[in-house]
Amino acid sequence: MTTATDTAAASAKTPEETAAPDPARLRRRRRLAQWGFVAPAVVFMLLFFGYPLVRNVVMSFQHYTPKTFFTGEAPFNGTDNWSAVLQDALFGKALWHTLVFTAGSLLGQFCIGLALAVFFSRRFPLNGVLRSLILLPWLVPMVVSGIVWRRILDQDTGVLNTFLGALGLSGDTPWLTSPDMALLSVILVNIWIGIPFNMVILYGGLQEIPGELYEAASLDGASAWRAFRSVTLPMLKPVITVVLVLGFMSTVKILDLILALTDGGPADATQTLGTLTYQNSFVQLDFGAGAVVGNVLILISAAFAVFYLRANRTDGK
């Protein structure tokens, strides 16, 4: 974006400058200066994004094992890693879990976050205090929340089941210990973690909507629901896109929370692409296979990024 504005500014000025003594030299100097400004960013991108990305792609076609660290040799093995990983039943499972986890988490975080944001944009006593209390889950490190939730969700001694039991409800829910429940429980915990982030950003977006619009809407006889649909949502759209994109990026690559809660278990019920690439690379030390799963994750993110840019472009027009 910076480059675009720079060039635009530069070309806008050019007509005035043509009168100057040595236009060619000046232009060259300006070009150089422009590149000078861009260079640090380009170098940074190439070094810290380009190189690892390319390396990861290359690695997925190599037989990359502990021996490689000593000999420096990683023979190319064609698509062996890819076919091995893609044929592994666990990969399909992990892919499915990742999609369910991401969709479920985003849906829950967003809806609850939005509801809370709308709620807090009214004026009432203790609003500020409550709003800051809701931020707490965001402040707790992911691993800590994972460990605490693992205790809360324990089937026999967990607080949640004890509480449910005291209410006379089913106090014997196998939150993390049944393969059918575990993924849902992990999603619920992740929703809890994600609500503050969604709420804060959406709340900020709501403050930007001018109050007159609501006044106009109520003069037109719009109900609260109608005003929400026809004023709040359209005005909030750019913020919503940002929230969802950022949420997607941080959710699809989930690793730490799942490691702390279930370690991918029970019986692989919560394996995601993140835990699978970790397991391949750092438990089995088969770095080629780990790279394959990593690349799939990158592809998914890239596809989403393209989709996002498209949506933004049509927005601009």
- Write down the least CB distance from residue 264 to another protein, Å: 6
| 37 touches 43 (CB < 8 A) | no
Q: In whole angstroms, how close is the CB of 70 to another protein at the nearest point?
A: 5
Q: 76 has which bridge partners?
A: 62
* DSSP per-residue string spanning 10-48: HHHHHHHHTTSS-HHHHHHHHHHHHHHHHHHHHHHHIII
212 near another protein (CB under 8 A): no
Cα separation of 20 and 273, whole Å?
A: 60
Q: Which amino acid is at 91?
A: F
* Pairwise CA distance, residues 69 & 85, whole Å: 22
Binder among 82, 116, 150, 295 for another protein (CB under 8 A): 150
* Token representation of residue 119: 């709620």
Site string for another protein, 256-275 (x = CB under 8 A): ------xxxxxxx-------
140 binds another protein (CB under 8 A): no
The CA distance from 167 to 61, in Å, is 56
Q: Which is nearer to another protein, 185 or 232 (CB)?
A: 185
Please report, as a single letter, which amino acid is at residue 50.
G
225 Cα distance to chain centroid: 30
* Smallest distance from another protein to CB 198, Å: 29
Q: Does the footprint of another protein cover residue 16 (CB under 8 A)?
A: no
Q: Nearest distance from residue 65's CB to another protein, in Å?
A: 6
Question: How many residues belong to the site for another protein (CB under 8 A)?
Answer: 39
Considering the rule CB under 8 A, would residue 178 count as an interface residue with another protein?
Answer: yes
Residue 279's region, left for phi above 0, alpha for psi from -120 to 50, else beta, is alpha
Site string for another protein, 180-199 (x = CB under 8 A): --------------------
Of 243, 279, 293, 300, the residue at the interface with another protein (CB under 8 A) is 279
Member of 106, 116, 117, 176 binding another protein (CB under 8 A): 176
69, HSE (Cβ side, Cα atoms, 13 Å): 5
Using CB under 8 A as the criterion, which residues of the chain lie in contact with another protein when the complex forms? 63, 65-72, 80-81, 84, 88, 90, 150, 154-157, 174, 176-179, 262-268, 279, 282-286, 288-289
